[in-house]
């Protein structure tokens, strides 16, 4: 996918690098030359430009982009101006960062495809992680349901998913399992990476160290984490 990221603050910089590392063709733009120097070898193309100057956008291939992300975080109207210009030059999907309720209203009126609030979303996600003590990571679906990563427990190791009657016992659905496997990096060193096993079959055995990605109610995930007296395996 061809992605244009405008604005290289902490969020925009991290997002651009992760998108590039996962196989996307990423073009970035920011007025700060130092940031452009930092990232230019990590993405397909990096452009130093003022995001509020319409003429500057001719140096970015917006007409060929699949997705444009306005990641500017300053509260000076630059994100709104940039979004308006981008909408003029492309029919690609547009995701815009907002820093206030009034910016939400303006962006909604402009018809952007998605509005994001990185700090707020991270705070909510981290709060959920704190409240679900023992969980590894969480993705909230709504106020009641979420997807959560939880460690497997001793009482489950060695059993198949079918034998454990996991869904009936915990009222949770297992989406997939994550296992750490040895890999050799480009320096020849052995490292452990997280591997997703795909859709688990009923006859798949739980192993020590497994991370279960489960879907269910917040209350049921808390119950799973709290009531298993054996505790997680390190």
Q: Return the pLDDT at 37.
A: 95
Same domain as 151, residue 108: no
Same domain as 151, residue 94: no
Domain-embedded: residue 160: yes
Q: Return the pLDDT at 234.
A: 39
Same domain as 22, residue 96: yes
Please state, rounded to an integer, the average pLDDT across all residues of the chain: 84
The answer to whether residue 141 scores a pLDDT higher than 80 is no
Q: Return the pLDDT at 83.
A: 94
Mean pLDDT of 175-195: 72
Buried b (16+ CB within 10 A) or exposed e, 155-177: ebbeeebeebebeeebebebeeb
Q: Looking at beta carbons, which pairs linking 90-94 to residues 24 or more positions away fall under 8 Å?
A: 90/62, 90/63, 90/65, 92/4, 92/62, 92/65, 92/66, 92/67, 92/68, 93/66, 93/67, 93/68, 94/67, 94/68, 94/69, 94/70
Same domain as 162, residue 103: no
pLDDT top residue among 134 and 44 = 44
Domain that holds residue 184: 122-227
Same domain as 93, residue 78: yes
Same domain as 179, residue 89: no
Domain-embedded: residue 45: yes
Mean pLDDT of 51-70: 92
Lowest mean pLDDT among 48-57, 64-73, 90-99, 176-185: 176-185
Instruction: Report the percentage of the chain scoring pLDDT > 90.
Output: 48
Same domain as 155, residue 87: no
Same domain as 8, residue 112: yes
Instruction: Report the percentage of the chain scoring pLDDT > 70.
Output: 82
Torsion of CA 212, 216, 221, 227, to 10 degrees: -90
Q: Return the pLDDT at 230.
A: 44
Domain-embedded: residue 65: yes
**Alpha-carbon gap, residue 49 to 123, rounded angstroms:** 31
pTM, entire model = 0.60
- CATH number for the domain including 12? 3.40.50.720
Number of domains in the chain: 2
Same domain as 127, residue 91: no
Q: Return the pLDDT at 123.
A: 66
Same domain as 173, residue 99: no
Where a domain ends, among 55, 87, 116?
A: 116
Where a domain ends, among 84, 116, 148?
A: 116
Q: Given pLDDT bands bounded at 50, 70 and 90, which one contains residue 198?
A: confident
Q: What's the Cα-to-Cα distance from 225 to each of 88, 137, 221, 222, rounded to whole Å? A: 50, 13, 6, 5
- CATH number for the domain including 130? 3.30.70.1450
Which of 50, 45, 5 is closest to 32 using CA atoms?
50
Integer Rg of the chain from CA: 22
Same domain as 169, residue 152: yes
Where a domain ends, among 72, 96, 116?
A: 116
**Alpha-carbon gap, residue 107 to 83, rounded angstroms:** 8
Domain-embedded: residue 234: no
Same domain as 195, residue 109: no
Q: Return the pLDDT at 233.
A: 42
């Amino acid at each position: 996918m061809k992605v244009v990221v405008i604005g290289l603050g902490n969020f925009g910089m991290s997002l651009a690098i992760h998108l590039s590392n996962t196989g996307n063709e990423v073009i970035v733009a920011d007025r700060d030359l130092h940031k452009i120097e930092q990232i230019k070898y990590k993405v397909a193309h990096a452009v130093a430009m003022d995001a509020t100057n319409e003429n500057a956008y001719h140096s970015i291939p917006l007409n060929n982009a699949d997705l444009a992300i306005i990641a500017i975080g300053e509260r000076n109207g630059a994100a709104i101006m940039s979004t308006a210009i981008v909408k003029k030059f492309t029919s690609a999907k547009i995701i815009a960062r907002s820093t206030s309720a009034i910016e939400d209203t303006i962006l909604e009126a402009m018809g952007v495809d998605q509005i994001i609030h990185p700090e707020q979303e991270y705070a909510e996600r981290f709060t959920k992680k704190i409240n679900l003590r023992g969980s590894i990571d969480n993705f909230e679906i709504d106020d009641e349901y979420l997807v959560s990563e939880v460690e497997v427990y001793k009482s489950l190791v060695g059993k198949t998913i079918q034998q454990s009657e996991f869904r009936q016992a915990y009222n949770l659905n297992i989406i997939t399992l994550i296992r750490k496997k040895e890999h050799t990096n480009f320096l020849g060193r052995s490292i452990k990476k997280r591997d997703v096993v795909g859709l688990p079959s009923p006859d798949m055995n739980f192993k020590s160290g497994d991370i279960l990605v489960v879907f269910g109610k917040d209350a049921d995930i808390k119950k799973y984490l709290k009531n298993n007296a054996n505790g997680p395996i390190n």
